[in-house]
A and B are shown apart, each in its own frame.
Chain A
Amino acid sequence: MNDQTPITTGCSDTPVLKQRGQREVFCGLTGIIWLHRKMQDAFFLVVGSRTCAHLLQSAAGVMIFAEPRFGTAILEEKDLAGLVDANQELDREVSRLLARRPDIKQLFLVGSCPSEVIKLDLARAAERLTEIYNPNVRVINFSGSGIETTFTQGEDACLAAMVPMLPNTNERELLLVGALPDVVEDQALQLLSDMGISKIRVLPAHRVDAQTALGPNTVFALTQPFLGDTHAELIRRGARHIAAPFPFGEEGTTAWLRAIADEFGVDQDMFDRVTQAPRARARKAIQAQAKILNGKSIFFFPDSQLEIPLARFLTRECGMKAIEVGAPYIHGDLIGPDLELLPKGPVISEGQDVDLQLDRCRAARPDLTVCGLGLANPLEGEGLSTKWAIELVFTPVHFYEQAGDLAGLFARPLRRKSLLTGFHPNMQAAE
C-alpha cells in the first residue's frame, strides 16, 4: 500500500511552476478565527473597512455569538481625510473596547489592506497604547492584509510579532510553534514528555501569563508549515530550528518526533517504547480509509501551505496519486523534508492564475480536488469531487490519534459520491 519509492527520488529538484494572475485565496485576517479560540485572553481588533468586517463575519459563520473576541474598527470617510484624526479615533475605540472587556490581556491591532495602503502606523499605535494600558494589557500589531498575507500566513504574522516580546532565558528548552487544537497539543506534549523531554513550551500559549521565554539555548520545532516569518524571528533571537517533515500521518508524526528525540539524545529503545502502540493504532486507522483512497488521483489548489505535507501523507500512506500540488508560497527551508519524501510525479506550483489552473484541473479530471469554498460547488457542478481546504485548518488532523480522521476527511467526499451517484445529471457525465 505505502509507496516504496526510495526517498532520493523525491520532489526536491522538481522545477516549481510559478504563475501570477488572479488568486482565489483568503487574506490573513481569516487566521483570527482560530487564533482567538486558542489565545483566550486576547482580542483581535482589525483596523480596516466594511469589507474586512464582512469577511470575518462570512468566514466565522455561526461563530459570531454575543461577544466574540474580535471585531473591526471600520474606517470612515473622515478617517481617510487626515491621519492624526485616525489615531485619536483608534485610541477612543480601544478605550471603549477595553472598558467593556476588562478580561482582555493582549490586544492585537491587526492591519488590513486599507490601513496598510493609507500607511496608518499601527506599530506606533501599539507602542503608544501599550504605554497607556501597561501593565494590564499588552498591545501588539501585525498585518493580516490580503496584499501581504494569504490565509494561514495571518497566524505567521501574529506569532512573528509576538516573538520579540518574549522574555529571555538561557534554559535549554523545547518550543513547539503553531496553534494546534488543544487535544492535539496535549497529545504532542504527552508523547515528548514520555520520552523524557520535560521542558517544553508552546507558542501561542493559552494565556499571556503562561507565555514562554526564549533564548540562545532554545530549540524549536514547527507544527505548521506556514510559519516562515516566525521561524526567521526565532532564529534572530538565537533559537535553533529542528528541521523535520510535518506531523501528518503515522510516518510524518514519527519523523517529526524522531528529529526532536535525536536532538535530545533519546535512545531508540525509549523512542520505540513510547511510539509503538500509537503508531500501530495510526496505521490501522489509516488503513481503513486508504481502501477508498488507494489509486485515486488528487489535485491541490493553493490555500494554506499545508498542501505539500498533506500530499506527502496521501501519496505515501494512503496510496493516492498527486497530479498537481499548488501552494500559495513554498518556503524551501521549512518544507524541504516533506518535498524530499513526496514521490516524483506531480506538478508543484506556487502562486496562482486561477483560470489557467482551473483549465489544468478540468483537463486532468482528478478523482478528488482540494480547493476553497468559492470553487468547491462550481467544480462539483461540473462533476468533480472536492474537499474543502479550510476544514483542514479547523479540524484536529496532526499526530497519531488524528491520522485516521485526516485520511477520513479525504475519503468522505468519495464515499458520498459513490452513495449518491445517479441523482445529479453531471455525475454520470463524469464517469
Chain B
Amino acid sequence: MKLTVWTYEGPPHVGAMRVATGMKGLHYVLHAPQGDTYADLLFTMIERRDHRPPVTYTTFQARDLGSDTAHLFKDACQQAYDRFKPEAIIVGASCTAELIQDDPGGLAETLGLPIPVIPLELPSYQRKENFGADETFFQIVRHLARPMEKTAQVSCNIIGPTALGFRHRDDIQELTALLFDMGVQVNVVAPMGASPSDIARMGQAHFNVLLYPETAEAAARWMERDLGQPYTKIVPIGVGATRDFLAEVAAITSLSPQVDDSRLRLPWWSSSVDSTYLTGKRVFIFGDATHVKASARIARDEMGFEVAGIGCYNREFARDIRALGKELGVDSLISDDYLEVERVIEELQPEMILGTQMERHIGKRLGIPCAVISAPVHVQDFPARYSPQVGFEGANVIFDTWIHPLVMGLEEHLLHMFRDDFEFHDEAGPSHHGGHMPKDIAAAADPQKTVLLEDGNVIWLDAAERELKKIPFFVRGKAKRNTEKFASEKGVNQISVETLYEAKAHYAR
C-alpha cells in the first residue's frame, strides 16, 4: 500500500478511454463498478467534448456480484453493439473487475459479433494511464493493420495523439503543415481522429512519425517490424529539435529538409536585448519524459536558461531521463510522489519551474513562477486559441508561455534600483501576479478589516460582521457593498444580520 494524494497518472483503463475517445467508430465496453463513469467528465469537462466518450460501462453493484456480472458484461456488450453500430469494439476490465475475474475478451467472443472485438489486458495494480493508452493503441493496430502496397506519393502516419493529450489537437495541425511543406502527405493520424478502417490502411504509409512515445511507442515498434515502416525518434518540440526532425525525415524519404520558417520568431525574440535578463535563470523541469526532454533542450540552447534539475513521473522513460540528467550535469528525479517533487524544488530553489498542473500548485505555494509544459493539465490548458508545442509556431508559443510568468526585465531592474520602495521591494514579485502583493499592503487592503463605512457612518454589528465572514470570499465584497448601500438608502445606521438578509433579498431581483 502507498499513501497518495495527488496522482500524476490515472489507472490504465483511463488510458484506454483516451484512445477510444480520440478515435471514431470504435466503442469501448468496460467491465467496471458503478461510479467508474466519473472518468467521462475528464473528457466532457476538461477537454470540453460535446459528445459522451464512446464507452459503455457495466456498472455492476454489490447485488450483482457472483455469476451475474458475466451476464451483465455480455448484455452490455451486445447492447452497445446494437445501439452504436461501431466498426470495432475494445473490451477490458477496470481495477475492481480485474479482481472478480470475469474474462471480458472470452465473454465478448462468445457473442459472435460481426466486427473485430479486441480484448485488452491492462494490469491496474502495476501500470498506469500512459501504459494503458500505449497498450490499447498497440492492440488495436496489431489487430487491424496489415502490410499493404505503399502510396505512390511519400506519406507517413502520425501516431500518438489521443483525447486528453496536452496540446495534441494543435500539434497535429502544425506537424501536418510542416510535413506538407516537405512534400510528405499524412496517410493516417491515429489514434486521434482515426476510425478502425483508417487503422486498417496504416500499412500504406512509407514511415511513421512517432509524435508522443508515451502513447504509441509499442505500436511504432510493431509497425516497424511487421509493416516495414521506420519511425522517427526525434520529437519536433523546439527549434533545434524541429530542424533535427526535418533532417531525420529527409534521411528516411530523400526529400529536402528545407521548409518555410519565415514565421519562426523564437530565435530573434530570444536574441533581442530585452531577453538578456533570461540568461542563466535557474529552471527546474518536471513532467512526462517527452516534454521534459524537449523542454530541457529549449531551456538550455534556445532560451539561455540554466537547467537546475529535471525529472519525470513515468518510470517507463526513467533511463532516458537519467541519461539526459547526466549530460546536463544535474540530478534527475524519477518519482510519481508530488511531495518528493516539492521537496526537491524546495532544495533547489529554482527561479522558475516548468512542470505540470501539480508543479503549478507547488510553485504557487513556494512563490516560484511556473509554466505548464506537460500533462496532467487542467481545463485552462485546453485553450480555445491555436497553441501547438510542435514545430515553428510551437516554438513561438513556448517562448511566450515561458517568459510570461517571469518578472519582466525592466521590472527586475527596477526591483534592484528601488529595492526599498514599497511598490518595488524584493518580495513584490511580478506585477501581474496579484497573489504576490507585499504582505503589509495586502493586509491593509483587506476589506474585512474596515468596520465603518467611510462616508455614511454605518456600523456593522458584531453578529452581522460574523455572518458576513461566512459568505464565500469571492462574493463577500459584493455582499458588503450592497448591504451598506441598502442600509444607507434606508437610513439605517446599524447593520444587523437582519439588514444583511433584507439587503440580499432586495438585490435578488
Residues of A within 8 A of B (CB): 21-30, 45, 47, 49-51, 53-55, 57-59, 61-62, 64-66, 68, 70-77, 79-80, 86, 89-90, 92-93, 96-97, 113-114, 116-118, 145-148, 150, 182-183, 186, 277-278, 281-282, 284-285, 288-289, 355, 372-378, 380-381, 401, 404, 408
Q: Say which one of B303-311, B431-439, B499-507 lies at the interface with A.
A: B499-507
Are A24 and B37 within 8 A (Cβ)? yes
Which residue in chain B gives the minimum CB-CB distance to A358? B52
4 nearest A-B residue pairs (beta carbon): A146-B35, A27-B35, A381-B50, A374-B40
Are B40 and A24 within 8 A (Cβ)? yes
Q: Say which one of B59-67, B176-184, B283-291, B421-429 lies at the interface with A.
A: B59-67
A51's contact among B11, B56, B361, by CB below 8 Å, is which? B11
B38's contact among A59, A62, A92, by CB below 8 Å, is which? A59
B35's contact among A25, A79, A186, by CB below 8 Å, is which? A25
Inter-chain contacts of B444 with A (CB < 8 A): none
Bound-state Cα–Cα, A148 to B79, Å: 24
Are A377 and B65 within 8 A (Cβ)? no
Inter-chain contacts of B48 with A (CB < 8 A): 377
Q: Report which residue of A47, A73, A86, A285 has the largest number of chain B beta carbons within 10 angstroms of its beta carbon.
A: A285
Tell me if B276 counts as interface (CB < 8 A to partner A).
no
A278's contact among B4, B33, B38, B501, by CB below 8 Å, is which? B501
Are B38 and A72 within 8 A (Cβ)? no
B95's contact among A51, A278, A285, by CB below 8 Å, is which? A51
Are B100 and A281 within 8 A (Cβ)? no
Which residue in chain A gives the minimum CB-CB distance to B48? A377
Tell me if B45 counts as interface (CB < 8 A to partner A).
yes
A58's contact among B41, B125, B126, by CB below 8 Å, is which? B41
Are B99 and A118 within 8 A (Cβ)? yes
Inter-chain contacts of B59 with A (CB < 8 A): 21-23, 146
Inter-chain contacts of A76 with B (CB < 8 A): 1-2, 125-126
Are B37 and A404 within 8 A (Cβ)? no
B3's contact among A51, A71, A145, A373, by CB below 8 Å, is which? A71
Question: From residue B418, how far is it (CB to closest CB) to chain A in Å?
Answer: 33
Inter-chain contacts of A59 with B (CB < 8 A): 38
List CB contacts (< 8 Å) of B316-333 with chain A: none
Tell me if B445 counts as interface (CB < 8 A to partner A).
no
Are B505 and A284 within 8 A (Cβ)? yes
Are B35 and A374 within 8 A (Cβ)? no
Are B1 and A374 within 8 A (Cβ)? no
Are A374 and B4 within 8 A (Cβ)? no
B5's contact among A62, A68, A186, by CB below 8 Å, is which? A68
Bound-state Cα–Cα, A277 to B65, Å: 54
Inter-chain contacts of B280 with A (CB < 8 A): none
Tell me if B18 counts as interface (CB < 8 A to partner A).
no
List 20 extra interface pairs beyond A27-B34, A113-B35, A146-B59, CB under 8 A. A22-B76, A24-B37, A26-B35, A49-B11, A49-B95, A49-B125, A50-B11, A50-B124, A51-B11, A66-B365, A77-B125, A146-B61, A147-B61, A183-B471, A186-B470, A281-B504, A288-B508, A373-B41, A378-B50, A378-B51
Are B61 and A93 within 8 A (Cβ)? no
Given A281-B505, A377-B50, check contact A147 B3 (CB 8 Å): no
Bound-state Cα–Cα, A80 to B61, Å: 21
Are A89 and B49 within 8 A (Cβ)? no
Inter-chain contacts of A57 with B (CB < 8 A): 6-7
Question: From residue A341, how far is it (CB to closest CB) to chain B in Å?
Answer: 24
Q: Report which residue of B5, B7, B34 has the largest number of chain A beta carbons within 10 angstroms of its beta carbon.
A: B34
Are A97 and B3 within 8 A (Cβ)? yes
20 pairs from A and B in contact (CB 8 Å cutoff): A30-B38, A51-B36, A54-B39, A71-B5, A72-B3, A72-B5, A73-B4, A74-B2, A96-B3, A117-B100, A147-B96, A150-B34, A278-B501, A281-B501, A282-B505, A285-B508, A374-B52, A377-B44, A377-B49, A404-B505
Is chain B's interface secondary structure helix, strand, loop, or mixed overall? Answer: mixed
Bound-state Cα–Cα, A148 to B4, Å: 23
Inter-chain contacts of A401 with B (CB < 8 A): 501, 504
Question: From residue A405, how far is it (CB to closest CB) to chain B in Å?
Answer: 8
Bound-state Cα–Cα, A277 to B52, Å: 47
Inter-chain contacts of A58 with B (CB < 8 A): 38-39, 41-42
Are B128 and A50 within 8 A (Cβ)? yes
Bound-state Cα–Cα, A97 to B45, Å: 33
Are A93 and B5 within 8 A (Cβ)? no
Inter-chain contacts of A277 with B (CB < 8 A): 498
Bound-state Cα–Cα, A287 to B20, Å: 47
Bound-state Cα–Cα, A312 to B504, Å: 24
Bound-state Cα–Cα, A146 to B60, Å: 9
Bound-state Cα–Cα, A118 to B94, Å: 15
Inter-chain contacts of A114 with B (CB < 8 A): 95-96, 99
Question: From residue A101, how far is it (CB to closest CB) to chain B in Å?
Answer: 11
Are B61 and A51 within 8 A (Cβ)? no
Bound-state Cα–Cα, A68 to B3, Å: 13
Inter-chain contacts of A27 with B (CB < 8 A): 33-36, 38
B33's contact among A61, A65, A71, A145, by CB below 8 Å, is which? A145
What string of 1s and 0s marks CB contacts (under 8 Å) between B1-31 and chain A? 1111111011101100000000000000000
Are B361 and A65 within 8 A (Cβ)? yes
A54's contact among B14, B51, B52, B100, by CB below 8 Å, is which? B14
Which residue in chain A gives the minimum CB-CB distance to B37? A24
Tell me if B478 counts as interface (CB < 8 A to partner A).
no
Given A51-B94, A381-B51, check contact A281 B502 (CB 8 Å): yes
Given A147-B65, A377-B44, A404-B508, check contact A49 B57 (CB 8 Å): no
Q: Report which residue of A51, A64, A182, A277 has the largest number of chain B beta carbons within 10 angstroms of its beta carbon.
A: A51
